[in-house]
Amino acid sequence: MITLINNRLVKIFVFFYLSALSPSCSHTQFQKKKKENSKEEYWKKEKSINFLILGDWGRNGEFHQKDVANAMALNGIKDKSNFIISTGDNFYPDGVISVDDPQWSKSFEDIYSGASLNIPWFTVFGNHDYRGSIEAQLDYSKKSRRWRTTERYYSFEKTIPNSNEKVIFIFLDTNPFDETLNKKYHSDLSKQDTAAQLKWLENTLTSSNAKWKIIIGHHPLFTTGVRRDKLLNIRNTFLPFFNKHEIDIYFAGHEHDLQYQKPEGKTHYFISGAGSEIRPVSKDLLQTKFAMSTNGFISACITKDFISITFINHKGKQLYQTSIIK
């Protein structure tokens, strides 16, 4: 009996010890430190790349869009976010028609007005964006200092602070691969060369030696939302690339909820599509780590050793946190 009790105590101790060691982005790297022989204080050097992920948002501030924006602004201050990623459907219901479209002010500039959100925005496009002018969204980069998207699909690499390691961010245009879309009502969707994009994707992945590989697209490969099992053509198209090149993370939107799916394989699948209107979501016992129908966004942090992902709702409450160690 005594041996059994001791074994249980050991297990409890190990559980709490490992929990305490679990990596996360508390951002204590910005703690102040006094210089020797001086009362002057200075900020420590940044140790991570910090960013926010938002999707399916542009609704004139309605459906808690403004509340999500306010929560993002507060989180951006706390975590000192470097940039923002949008997973698409930036403007409802029919995108924008020009760089002077009223949607730019009503759904973007006037909503994400917090100083901490005045940082680079890197976006992909959703099916609702394709109902308007994609060229107008690309051209807005010439008018706005923070709207940085100039191509339909693109990539960039960043060096992780305090290391020689890099992370590559790859932004896809998944819309031309969605067989459920009526090309008649989605601007120049039919003109997109899917073969050229896939060739570009393969070349980009092959030529990169980044430690962390992150891909962003509008359509999810795995979801337990209302489109569950309805986007198999998207999965069948991109999953071979993900498996071959061992992609670490795929961020998507399209589903109006927050999800973390981990099916078989190396890739972790996150959905951040709850920037405004939300929809029901279910769970799959074999792959769902987290799924919630609530407004919110994702806060992410990358170091050379781990990536921390935190789901946050429109009230600023942390809903779920996980870390990917490598």
pLDDT of residue 294: 98
Pairing of strands 49-54, 83-86: parallel
In a domain, 205, yes or no: yes
What letter represents residue 70's amino acid?
Answer: N
Q: What is the mean pLDDT of the chain?
A: 90
Q: Structural domain tally of the chain?
A: 1
In a domain, 88, yes or no: yes
Do 54 and 85 contact (CB within 8 A), yes or no?
A: yes
In a domain, 39, yes or no: no
**Local confidence band at 30 (pLDDT 50, 70, 90 cut-offs):** very low
For tokens 């891909």, the residue is: 215
Least confident of 24-38, 72-86, 108-122, 243-257: 24-38
* pTM, 2 dp: 0.89
In a domain, 251, yes or no: yes
**How many Å apart are CA 149 and CA 156, to the nearest integer?**
12
> What tens digit of pLDDT does each residue of 146-175 get?
999 999 999 999 999 999 999 999 999 999
Domain that holds residue 65: 45-325
In a domain, 277, yes or no: yes
43 pLDDT above the threshold of 60: no
For tokens 């949008």, the residue is: 86
**How many Å apart are CA 87 and CA 126, to the nearest integer?**
8
Proportion of the chain above pLDDT 90, given as a percent: 83
Tokens for 311, please give them. Answer: 């789901």
* Residue 257 CB partners (closer than 8 Å, separation 6+): 225, 271, 273, 274, 278, 279, 280, 281, 291, 292, 293, 294
Domain with residue 302: its CATH number is 3.60.21.10
Range 225-231 average pLDDT: 95
Range 263-292 average pLDDT: 98
In a domain, 7, yes or no: no
In a domain, 33, yes or no: no
Q: Which is it for the CA torsion 59, 171, 23, 43, positive or negative?
A: negative
Range 121-143 average pLDDT: 98
Q: Which is it for the CA torsion 144, 313, 82, 217, positive or negative?
A: negative
